[in-house]
């Protein structure tokens, strides 16, 4: 048995106002560009650096990863998956089962409502996932292939992006 951690994170804030791009191409807003680096720094501070990130391929998740990774002390492999955008929770559950066995901590970056449903399916707890919320769960597993049938994951932490610093 080995401790496995999942960080389930919703993309940072991406407003609709003033955006004429299709949903898949919607960028982060000003606040969203600040949230990723703050959550990344908190993950590093808490010793929760992922070894791999599986992310939706939408523009706002790509930008969220770019902000997160600014705080990472090492290069972290990232895979951008169209299935996370199209199929959400189901795709995340499938991909989780195929994580490399060498990985102890993985971050899944995507969208609501699927991510809230995923967290509830894993932990049995309903967690509101506002933009840039990261939920850390863990489980002792022999293999990632056992991740879906292993029962409830332990909710370790809920990391919020915090408020931007006040301007003078």
Domain at 151, CATH number: 3.40.50.1240
Give domain status of residue 139, yes or no: yes
Give domain status of residue 51, yes or no: yes
Give domain status of residue 61, yes or no: yes
pLDDT at 166 over 80: no
pLDDT at 21: 83
Give domain status of residue 122, yes or no: yes
Give domain status of residue 164, yes or no: no
Give domain status of residue 166, yes or no: no
Domain hosting residue 121, numbered range: 2-159
Answer for the pair 22, 58: CB distance below 8 angstroms, yes or no: no
Average pLDDT for 86-102: 95
How far apart CA 10 and CA 167 sit, in angstroms, is: 26
**Exposure class string for 116-127: b at 16+ Cβ within 10 A, else e:** bbbbeebbeeee
pLDDT at 168: 44
Give domain status of residue 167, yes or no: no
Lowest-pLDDT choice from 10-19, 56-65, 72-81, 106-115 = 10-19
Residue-averaged pLDDT of the chain: 92
């Amino acid at each position: 048995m080995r401790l496995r951690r999942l960080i389930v994170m919703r993309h940072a804030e991406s407003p609709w106002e003033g955006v004429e791009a299709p949903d898949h191409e919607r960028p982060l807003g000003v606040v969203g560009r600040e949230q990723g680096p703050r959550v990344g720094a908190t993950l590093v501070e808490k010793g929760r650096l992922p070894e791999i990130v599986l992310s939706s391929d939408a523009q706002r998740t790509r930008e969220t990863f770019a902000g997160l990774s600014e705080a990472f002390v090492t290069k972290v492999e990232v895979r951008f998956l169209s299935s996370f955008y199209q199929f959400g929770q189901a795709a995340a559950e499938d991909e989780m089962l195929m994580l490399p066995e060498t990985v102890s901590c993985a971050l899944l970056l995507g969208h609501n409502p699927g991510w809230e449903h995923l967290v509830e399916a894993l932990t049995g707890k309903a967690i509101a996932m506002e933009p840039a919320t990261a939920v850390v769960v863990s489980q002792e597993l022999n293999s990632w292939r056992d991740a879906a049938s292993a029962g409830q994951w332990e909710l370790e932490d809920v990391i919020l992006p915090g408020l931007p610093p006040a301007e003078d």
